[in-house]
Structure 1
């Protein structure tokens, strides 16, 4: 009986410690509101930094076709640091990511979700890549804030 009581006390203390950690260390986990978007200056090409995300691959909608692409985009440094990245310019070329594994994963997951909701016919139709690029811009602006994303390029794009 003593053992059960000791285990019960340890369990209750563990649950209480975990709840206290969530409440006091990161209370935003308890709210259902998204993190506030950091106010950034409007897009200015002379100040923007380039970010490249490589090797994004997914099935397209319908699971018959496949897409693999790299995306390079320009973003305002304030928006990049506000989202958790590192705003370091590499002379106008892609810097191989945002400097934050968490932010890179968030971008990649959002782009994979976009690819999974796109059909092969939508992508290969006349103007399909233009529409896809606009949707990528919308996804990136949902992460970095409206008006903070500039040019978007696909250095590599393969559908199968």
Structure 2
């Protein structure tokens, strides 16, 4: 009986260690992500602010493959301000919001770029080239953005430019 319990305990500890290692090495951003800001207003396209993050470059999961893209999306202004505060923006009045200049907060722009680069590094070239692959990538980008701005705070995601090789 004791031998069987020790066997189960060892199997449990080995499984827990393997799971922790998989999380640590496979999805490190899940361990370091800050919680999404709490924003209560639902997404309203009439009030949303346009944001464009340009020239995001990364290697893909497979060696020898590369992606470069610009992402445009709309986000609610209160979610943008809350995310700027969470990213360490010292002067919320300095936010430019829309246009091609990103969010107006260097810290928040860096957080967005890092999240998207982590996503690219976990995406394979074959997955992008498969039928529906770009749509799946677009949905994954939106998930990453909603992890930063809060659920339901980001509108449609567009890629004005996208290059893979």
Partner of 1:61: 61
Within 2, Cα distance between the matches of 1:157 and 1:98? Answer: 20
Structure 1 residue runs of 4 or more that deviate by more than 3 Å after TM superposition: 32-36, 85-90
Cα distance in 2 between the residues matched to 1:154 and 1:33: 24
**Other-structure match for 1:8:** none
Q: TM-score, structure 2 length as denominator?
A: 0.71
Q: Which one of 94, 108, 111 corresponds to residue 106 of structure 1?
A: 111
Deviation at 1:62, TM superposition (A): 1.7
Gaps of 5+ in 2: 1-31, 85-91
Give the deviation of 1:35 after TM superposition: 5.0
Helix, strand or coil for the counterpart of 2:160? strand
Give the CA RMSD over aligned residues.
Answer: 2.0
CA distance in 2, matches of 1:101, 1:87: 10
User: TM-score scaled by structure 1?
Assistant: 0.73
The structure in which a higher percent of residues are helix is 2
What CA distance in whole angstroms lies between the structure 2 residues aligned with 1:63 and 1:159?
Answer: 13
Contact 1:83–1:143 (CA<8 Å) still a contact in 2? Answer: yes
Aligned length: 126
Q: Give ranges in structure 1 of 5+ residues lacking alignment.
A: 1-31
